Amino acid sequence: MTDYAKISATLKEALHLTGSPVAVKLASSPEQIPAGIPEIEETVRHCRMVSLAREGKIFFAPDAKHQCGGGAWVLGLREIGPSMDSGEHYLKLGKYSSLGASKRTVYTVPALPLSTYATVYAPLEKATFVPDVVIIFANPFAMLKLAQSTLFRLGGRLYPEFAGIQSICSDATAYVYQNGEPNFSLGCDGSRKFSGISDEEMVAGLPAERLEELAEAVLKVTTAPGSKK
């Protein structure tokens, strides 16, 4: 199996991370939950679960333990709720000027099909399973280095996908899993209020298949002659 402990150590040291990168697995059945991993006791949001794993906890969460309906929807745990589907949810929160603007945004939020049984979390260095996505909270300079690492091999440009809502569940998890590409997000009000992400941090989601490549690139771009020290 990939040496996740080594990759985590590289990312934490080179990017000066506070806390661990978080391994997230989208289990489609009870059989896919790794042996020995307990179910989370409390009912909280996906973004808070990521923060708990960032702090060192390992657990899985079925739909019933996901407090946020929007997060559970985009992660493929449950159907979209009527208030979210109608656009009323974000309109009532004052996010948009009209029902149409709210619905237009909701309809373009990346969401997984209804096929997830539970989400599984661990600090990357302690992961005993192959993750689907790895999530990182970091300051903008660390994200700059991570963005440069994403382009190190082939070059080009990045086109981050975000809308200021559902940042950790959709932008950093569902979108990354769907597309197999890293994604960068500014976070959202919900994640900043409930997850523990600070005002000075951004969020990035990385496909697990590219972890080794990205870790190697991070070492190179952070020590390059043109990199701010």
Rounded-to-integer distance, Cα 174 and Cα 208, Å:
13
Residue 211 CB-half CA count within 13 A: 27
Note down pLDDT in tens along the chain; length 229 residues: 799 999 999 999 999 999 999 999 999 999 999 999 999 999 999 999 999 999 999 999 999 999 999 999 999 999 999 999 999 999 999 999 999 999 999 999 999 999 999 999 999 999 999 999 999 999 999 999 999 999 999 999 999 999 999 999 999 999 999 999 999 999 999 999 988 889 999 999 999 999 999 999 999 999 998 888 7
Residue 33 CB-half CA count within 13 A: 18
First to last CA, the chain: 33
- pTM listed for this prediction: 0.95
Query: How confident is the model at residue 1, as a pLDDT?
Result: 73
Strand order in 202-207's β-sheet?
59-62, 118-123, 22-27, 133-138, 202-207, 183-185
